[in-house]
Amino acid sequence: MKRRRFLQSAALVGASSVAAVGAHSWLWRSSATAANLPRLIVVMLRGATDGLNIVVPYRENEYYESRPSIAIARPGENEGVLDLDGRFGLHPSLDALMPEWESGNLAFVHASGSPQATRSHFQAQDYLETATPGETATRDGWLNRLLAVLPEGTPAQGVNMGTGSVLPLIFAGQASVSNVSVNAAGSPRMSRDQRAIQGAFDQLYARNDRLGETYQEGRAARDVIMRELEAEGMEASRGAPTPERFTNTARSLARLMKGDTGTQVAFMELGGWDTHVNERGILKRQLIPLGNGLAALAKELGPLYQDTTIVVMSEFGRTIAENGNGGTDHGHGNAMWIMGGGVRGRKVYGEWPGLSEANQHDSRDLAITTDFRDVLSSVLGQQFGLNNRAIAQVFPGHSVTRSLQLL
Amino acid sequence: MDTSQKITHVLDRLTLGARPGDRIQLQRAGVDTYIQSQLNPPNNPKPASLARSLRGYATLSLSPVDLFEQYSPARNSSPEQREAARARQVQIVQEALQARVRGALESDYQLQEVMADFWFNHFNVFLGKGLTKLWVGVYEKDAIRPHALGKFRNLLGATAKHPAMSFYLDNWRNTDPNSRRARGPYQGLNENYARELMELHTMGVNGGYTQADVQSLTRILTGWGLGRTREASADGSGFTFEPVRHDGSDKTLLGQSIPGGGLDEGERALDLLAQHPSTARHISYKLAEYFVSDTPPEGLVSRLSDRFLATDGDIRAVLSSLFESDQFWDDAYFQVKFKTPYQYLISMVRATGLSEPDENTVRRIVGAMGQLGMPLYRCRTPDGYSQQESAWLNADAMLQRLNFARMAAGLDRENRPNAAALKETLGEAFSAQTLAVVDDSPAGMRPALLLGSPEMMYR
């Protein structure tokens, strides 16, 4: 409950600390200037993305042999991949990200993932979120543990951009996290009568005990978040038809980070990647909003993008061979995406194991040569300047075997 | 405590929250008589409307074997058949949820409901783990509820043999590695259940057992199987003992020798565990934590442990001691237990007096539990949900609770609660400051404000 101390200092301004914080946004600025704060955004793609059709090993004959109907064509061919480095190509529906690649802000770590060879979505997602693969009893997520080792920030230091009111496991734990529930237009959900009753609740909880302080902390965080999200820029998208929820959510997040909230750690998610059937069509439909959303995030962050790293990950990869339904089944290794102003981009990291049968995991899947925690440890160490002790707190029981210079 | 506070205290701790009329009933009966009646509930639920509803949940009267045979897809079924089976299984879960929430909201025998929740949580199973879903409802109804105020040994035995537990903690796989059946799902020893049986269900993590004890207990429990069909489990209970998978060698458990045998080894082991002083202490601590304080006074815990040992683990007797203790009635513990999401939501709805809610209303309440991080029957880990304030009091959850206070105030559209009735139902719990804010607010808001007030967060 370390964030309570911040609030107590804010409360010195007046008897009603909520109002005080709301009215004196300079207080937030002074403790957490928007510029220069290191930031991390994690985007989780639930359902297991097919990394082999996203960061495509187009030089490998096995790739085309294994996927006669769903392989993405070589560069230059009709609907072919966008060449990355002469070896790998990007799915053409992600063309919005090519400028990021070209300017060196985007990298991938291929053949990465969780060493625990579960093929259950449910369990594998848990492991990715707790970062303790194989250990089912872990109850907190690594983003929450990250908050615990960061220098104290605002009550909105950690923000979940969700659609409901449940915090994902990755954010579960002791440190408080603000849960921003946004609708398809990226606007916060709150009705008018909710505002009216909130004033009365503020009075009920204007007390100096643990309960009152906790309430005030939550209100202060929500208040400042609402203020940012309701700023004029959002009005344009309000009520608009919204096929691109993800893009709108990404824009809202950028707005939050640029504003007074002091948000440093954020989480977003996008489902619908379980492409057992008709993968070609589904990927096209899914990747376009994802690419647009990430590009919008980069653009909207403006100068802050320099201090921001975005990690995109999914619970596991998919089988090398396509199945009988124009899709792929649950596999193993996948590609992680690393994006941001400070990224040493234009590079596909990781040791590529190849697709030949001898190198396959369980004779069917892309092998894993880089533990996802090695990737995350590198990002956190370089992004937040965390030492080994702090990193060990975020990833307990893990010792880094492959150190990457991603930033 | 004065009489009025005593009434509030009893309703706070022995029930899931006051319903309209409860205070008057308690006043008439007297606190002691009320406690006695709660400790000795009849077999039939009351009121009659609740009993009728509960009888209507068909899957709760099936045996574990019936549930498996009728609700799980056959071995070689097609994807469509699997889908259909999954759809049928929804009914099992829905009926379990409906039965639990309806009982919590409406039953006159509230201590029974409190203890059903307490013991389910103590012997937690997670319905999201494979077949556990089939049996979660009957596990509570047949293994937990009949023993909720009975002998701890019976409760322990019923949970140990129930397919829900056997599946959830993998003991159905637990097999002597030298057995000729040690292959496929029965690859060898699996100490998952044996460990939790000592760490969580009985002696507690610091109860004084060793890794060697865990290994012994694991071997003792080899062959305690899961019979999914009538052939395997003639009585339909789903429990079987498979001698061929059992390690029949002599063992030592907690310093006692357990000669090689069969099923009786496990029964001996459960006897030893149920009678162990560490178990008495562990259970007593948890009861005191639930009924008195997050940091229960040592004197109370040892008094309850003594009673547990003296009565051969008689839960009713231990609770009786608890309710008679000075500590239970100490002003220092009045309204200091922070309600879990389950307790908060149920207590709000009880206060509104909602009766015979339809299925959708129950679904909304259950959904709210999930949104507050305490989904019913969905605690993944075997240690169950925490009863400590620190687990549930956080900034975001507080704001969400208030949203649900608004929801609770509007659940019964025909019969919305009014502020005066709520104040009467909940007694003098509200501070002058709360009452001043509430009375200053528009009438339409007052019920939600009372239900979302700081006082309502505690019991």
Q: Inform me whether the pLDDT recorded for A25 exceeds 80.
A: no
CA of A166 vs chain B CAs: smallest distance (Å)? 5
Residue B30 to residues B36, B228, B425, Cα–Cα distance (Å): 10, 49, 17
Residue A23 has pLDDT above 50, yes or no: no
- B381 interfacial to chain A (CB closer than 8 Å): yes
* Residues of B whose CB is below 8 A from A177: 396
Please name which of B374, B341, B367, B350 lies closest in space to residue B107, comparing C-alpha atoms: B350
pLDDT tier for residue B304 given thresholds of 50, 70 and 90: very high
Q: What is the pLDDT of residue A383?
A: 94
Side chain identity, residue A265? V
- From the list B195, B192, B179, B186, the residue with the least C-alpha distance to B248 is B179
User: What are the tokens at A399?
Assistant: 């010792």
Q: Do A196 and B400 touch (CB under 8 A)?
A: no
For residue B6, how far is the Cα from the chain centroid? 25
Per-window interface: B 92-121 vs A, CB < 8 A: none
pLDDT in tens, A76-109: 999 999 999 999 999 999 999 999 999 999 999 9
pLDDT per position as a tens digit, A174-208: 888 888 877 666 665 555 557 778 899 999 999 88
Interchain contact, A165 vs B400, CB within 8 Å = yes
Using CA coordinates, name the residue in chain B closest to A201.
Answer: B449
DSSP string, A69-87: TTPPBPTTSTTBPEESSSS
Q: How far is CA A237 from CA A165, A180, A245, A247, A257, in A?
A: 22, 17, 11, 11, 18
Are A178 and B433 a contacting pair at CB < 8 A? no
Residue B225: what are its φ and ψ, rounded to 5°? -110, 180
In this prediction, residue A302 has a pLDDT band, given cuts at 50, 70 and 90, of very high
Quick one: tokens of B19? 């319903």
Cβ(A149)–Cβ(A394) below 8 Å: yes
State how far residue B205 is from chain A, nearest Cα, in angstroms.
15
* 8 Å CB contact between A309 and A106: no
A30/B181 Cα distance (integer angstroms) = 69
Q: What percent of chain A has pLDDT over 70?
A: 84
Confidence of residue A4 (pLDDT cuts 50, 70, 90): very low
SS3 (DSSP) at A355: coil
Distances from the Cα of B309 to the Cα of B154, B275, B279, B302, angstroms: 15, 7, 9, 11
CA distances from B168 to A110, B184, B196 (A): 36, 18, 11
Chain A's closest residue to B445, CA to CA, is A197
How far does B392 lie from chain A, in Å, by closest CA? 10
- Compute the C-alpha angle B376/B154/B137, nearest 5°: 25
Per-residue pLDDT at B42 exceeds 80? yes
Query: What's the whole-number mean pLDDT along residues B321-345?
Result: 97
Q: For residue B16, is pLDDT > 70?
A: yes
Q: What is the residue type of A248?
A: N
Per-residue pLDDT reduced to its tens digit, B138-161? 999 999 999 999 999 999 999 999
Nearest beta carbon to residue A214 from set B395, B403, B434: B395
Give the pLDDT confidence score for residue A234 in this predicted structure: 46
A6 vs B163, residue with greater confidence: B163
Is the predicted pLDDT of residue A168 greater than 70, yes or no? yes
Nearest to A315 by CA among A46, A76, A89, A98: A46
* Nearest CB partner across the interface for A205, out of B128, B442, B454: B454
Let me know: does B396 contact A219? Beta carbons within 8 Å.
Answer: no
The whole-number average pLDDT for the span B365-382 is 90
Q: List the one residue out of B382, B452, B346 whose CA is nearest residue B97.
A: B346
Contact A204 B453 (CB under 8 A): yes
CA distance A369 to A350: 7
Residue B49: the pLDDT is 93
Q: Is the pLDDT reported for residue B28 higher than 70?
A: yes
Q: Which residue of B lies nearest to A164 if distances are taken between CA atoms?
A: B371
- pLDDT score, position A10: 34
pLDDT at A20: 33
pLDDT of amino acid A35: 61
Write the DSSP string, B174-209: ---TTSTT-SGGG-S---HHHHHIIIIISS-TTSS-
Task: Check B399 against A139: CB less than 8 A apart.
Answer: no
A224 to chain B, any CB pair closer than 8 A? The answer is: no
Q: Is A204 on the interface with B (CB under 8 A)?
A: yes
pLDDT at A54: 98
Interface contact A175, partner B, CB < 8 A: no
Determine the residue of chain B that is closest to A137 in CA distance.
Answer: B381
Distance CA B396, CA A172 (A): 12
Closest CA to B162 of B93, B68, B94: B68
pLDDT of residue A296: 93
At A164 the pLDDT is 61
- For residue A190, the model assigns a pLDDT of 55
pLDDT of residue A343: 97
Buried b (16+ CB within 10 A) or exposed e, A183-209: ebbbbbeeeeeeeebbebbbbbbbbee
**Count of CB atoms situated within 10 Å of the CB of A177:** 29
- Find the angle CA(B130)-CA(B134)-CA(B139) to the nearest 5 degrees: 110
- Tell how far CA A77 is from the center of its chain: 32
Mean pLDDT in residue range A115-130: 87
Closest approach of chain A CAs to the CA of B9, in angstroms? Answer: 20
Q: Please measure the distance between the N-terminal and C-terminal CA atoms of chain A and give it in whole angstroms.
A: 31
Query: For B327-351, what is the mean pLDDT?
Result: 97
Q: How confident is the model at residue A5 (pLDDT cuts 50, 70, 90)?
A: very low
pLDDT at A46 over 70: yes
Mean pLDDT of all residues belonging to chain B: 94
Write out residues 139-158 of A within 8 Å (CB-CB) of B: 139, 155
Contact B371 A177 (CB under 8 A): no
A3 chain-B contacts, CB cut-off 8 A: 395
**Inter-residue contact B247 to B194 (CB < 8 Å):** no
8 Å CB contact between A176 and B395: yes
| Contact (CB<8Å) B395/A194 | no
Touching check for B431 and chain A: CB below 8 Å? no
Which among B371, B442, B445 is the nearest to A164, CB-wise?
B371
CB contact under 8 A, A200 and B437: yes
3-state secondary structure of B386: coil
Closest CA to A121 of A398, A379, A317: A317
Mean pLDDT for B6-31 is: 97
Of B393, B396, B399, the CB nearest to A177: B396
Contact state of A218 with B398 under an 8 Å Cβ cutoff: yes
Which chain B residues contact residue A178 at CB under 8 A?
Answer: 395-396
Residues of B in contact with A210 (CB under 8 A): 393
Any chain B CB within 8 A of the CB of A222? yes
Taking residues A290-319, what's their average pLDDT? Answer: 95
Give A129-173 as a DSSP string: HHS-TT-TT--S-HHHHHHHHSPP--TTSEEEEESSSPPPGGG-S
Higher pLDDT: A222 or A359? It is A359
- Identify the weakest region by mean pLDDT among B41-50, B102-111, B347-356: B41-50
**β A334-340/A106-113 pair status:** antiparallel
CB atoms within 10 A of CB A25: 16
pLDDT tens digits along B180-195:
998 888 988 999 999 9
- Measured in angstroms, the CA of B130 and the nearest CA of chain A are apart by 11
**Cα distance between residue A83 and residue A60, in whole Å:** 14
Please give the residue of chain A at the shortest CA–CA distance from B407.
A194
Of B395, B453, B457, the CB nearest to A155: B395
B394 vs A176: CB contact, 8 Å cut-off?
Answer: yes
Give B407's contacts in chain A (Cβ within 8 Å).
none
Q: Which chain B residues contact residue A219 at CB under 8 A?
A: 399
Residue in A with minimal Cα distance to B375: A166
Per-residue pLDDT averaged across A358-382, rounded?
Answer: 95
* Structure confidence at residue A155 as a pLDDT band (50, 70, 90): confident
Name the residue in chain B with its Cα closest to that of A140: B391
Confidence of residue A275 (pLDDT cuts 50, 70, 90): confident
pLDDT attached to residue A388: 93
Q: How far apart, in whole angstroms, are the C-alpha atoms of residue A222 and residue A217?
A: 9
Of residues A106, A69, A115, A68, the one with CA closest to residue A88:
A106
Residue A390 has pLDDT above 70, yes or no: yes
| Tens-digit pLDDT profile for residues B283-297 | 999 999 999 999 999
Give the pLDDT of residue A316: 94
B373 or A89: which leads in pLDDT: A89
Beta carbons of B370 and A166 less than 8 Å apart: yes
Residues 433-452, chain B: which have Cβ within 8 Å of A?
433-434, 437-438, 440-442, 445, 448-449, 452
> What's the mean pLDDT in B199-206?
94
Of B381, B395, B438, the CB nearest to A221: B395
- The three-class DSSP label of residue A381 is helix
- Sequence-distant (6+) residues with CB within 8 A of A172 are A139, A140, A141, A144, B373
Q: Residues of A with CB below 8 A from B457's CB?
A: 211
Residues from chain A contacting residue B399 (CB–CB below 8 Å): 215, 218-219, 222
User: Are A349 and A333 spatial neighbours (Cβ–Cβ below 8 Å)?
Assistant: no
Q: Which chain A residue lies closest to B431 (C-alpha atoms)?
A: A204
ipTM rounded to 2 decimals:
0.87
Instruction: Answer yes or no: are the C-beta atoms of A375 and A314 closer than 8 Å.
Output: no
| pLDDT classification of A153: cutoffs 50, 70, 90 | confident
The answer to whether residue B371 neighbours chain A at the CB level (below 8 Å) is: yes
- For strands A82-83 and A265-270, give the pairing: unpaired
> Does B79 have pLDDT greater than 90?
no
The model's pLDDT over B219-265, given as tens digits with 9 standing for 90+, comes to 999 999 999 999 999 999 999 999 999 999 999 999 999 999 999 99
CB contact under 8 A, A197 and B380: no
Residue A13 has pLDDT above 60, yes or no: no
Question: CB contact, 8 Å: A124 with chain B?
Answer: no
Q: Which residues of B22-44 are buried (b: 16+ CB within 10 A; e: fewer)?
A: bbeebeeeebeebbeebbebeee
